[in-house]
Amino acid sequence: MKAIFPPIHRAGWPFIALFALVTWILFMMSPHWGWGGLVLTCWCIYFFRNPHRVTPSEEGLVISPADGMVTKIEKVLPPKELEWSQTPLTRVSIFLNVFDVHVTRMPVTGEVVKTLYHPGKFFNASLDKASEYNERNSVLVKTPSGQEVLVVQIAGLIARRILSDASVGQQVRAGDLFGIIRFGSRVDVYFPEGVTPKVLEGQYMVGGETVMGEMAPQRLKRK
């Protein structure tokens, strides 16, 4: 039953209630309008679904943090406001359309060492400039091997609200739910230096399940 009727993320209930109220009012005014409102209410319920996912447990894997299509794989500098790496890193951008699952999950197991919200604009999330100019929330996770992976929630043309429950010092596991972006968005993953993604542009990701890459344990430097 959970596969057919997945749970609803708690952030969606106020919107579902609002859509249902408007639908009831529309039915009172006109059955034709009411059926239109019912379709939108069903879509709202569908949008906020939070399906169960089975996350691979092998150590060192980078798991997709969201459902959606890989639109870009390139080496770029991470968001400057983070004051993190000054070296270009491989970034994989995942675009979420309004029919994709919009909850976001942790890509790796480790400790949250930094979070930062950055206000910005609302360009179409599929555009390259969205990573630099759009409203976003960054979460940096340090793995047990000492490598750091950055995941960035980015608002889109329709998305106007980013929710994140991640906090500094929090211990997380790959696949753990940590937030949601409302109504169309994008999620960027920055890989550690030397780690090559195992996905391609145009490939569809399943949040919490698709393996995006594998990190080899860091070797200790000899003195």
CA–CA distances in Å: residue 10 to residues 60, 160, 214: 31, 17, 32
CA–CA dist 140, 89 (Å, integer): 14
Helices 31-47 and 13-29, interaxial angle, to 10°? Answer: 170
Counting every residue written for the chain, the total comes to 223
Q: Given the residues 64, 93, 131, 185, select the one marked as catalytic.
A: 185
Q: Dig out the tokens for 200 from the structure.
A: 């391609």
User: Beta-carbon neighbour count of residue 97 at 10 Å?
Assistant: 15
CA proximity to 177, closest of 110, 106, 107: 106
30 is catalytic: no
Q: List the catalytic residues.
A: 185
